[in-house]
Amino acid sequence: MSRRLVLCTLLLVALNACSLIKPWHQNGLDLYLLAPQHGPTPALYQQKLNLIANGDERQVLVALKIDTSKIKLRALLPTGQSLYSIEYDGKTISEQNIANVALPAEEILAMLQFALWPSHILYKTYDASEHWQIEETQEYRLLSYNGKSKLRVDFVSKDTIHLTNYSHQYEVNVETLEYKKL
């Protein structure tokens, strides 16, 4: 099979994965993006994300760089070709949609932050509104609004987390392939 045909096929698979997720601003409240300076230890994460929606599962690779000044997330095809990138400095978001697809990168970034940021920052951010509740144990974090579950993070193992977005009815399995402190 020609190289171009393989590349086109992989691109179509990735685009199809993005279409599995319902428009994310229609059902419920947006999650907060958290300031990078209050985040975890500066690090570079190489992760494999399996998006599960409507009974289908698709895979995207993610490079996530967190330091005290900004967060960078780049979504890639399994071949390494860039699909989408997002950069957040605590005030401004810049996005580059290379494949011109509807991908909830901002929401996935907020979900990853909810999983990675220290508990006291989450409580401070979400408790600013009396309607948010956070339930937390060693095994999971659950974010609710007015008693209705919005987001759950299950800490499956040292390198694997499972995110459930109840508002938009999809799940993301996140496997950290490489972690490097900066």
Q: Per-domain residue ranges for the chain?
A: 3-181
Contact (CB, 8 A) for 158 and 150: no
SS3 content of the chain, % helix, strand, coil (to 5): 20, 45, 35
Closest to 107 (Cα-Cα) out of 11, 47, 26: 26
Size (the chain), residues: 182
- In CATH terms, the fold of domain 3-181 is outer membrane lipoprotein receptor (LolB), chain A (2.50.20)
Q: Quick one: pLDDT at residue 80?
A: 81
pLDDT in tens, the chain (182 residues): 433 322 233 333 333 344 443 433 444 557 899 999 999 999 999 999 998 998 888 889 999 999 999 999 999 888 888 888 999 999 998 988 887 766 677 887 899 899 999 999 999 988 866 789 999 999 999 999 999 999 999 999 999 999 999 988 999 999 999 999 99
First and final CA of the chain: distance in angstroms?
41
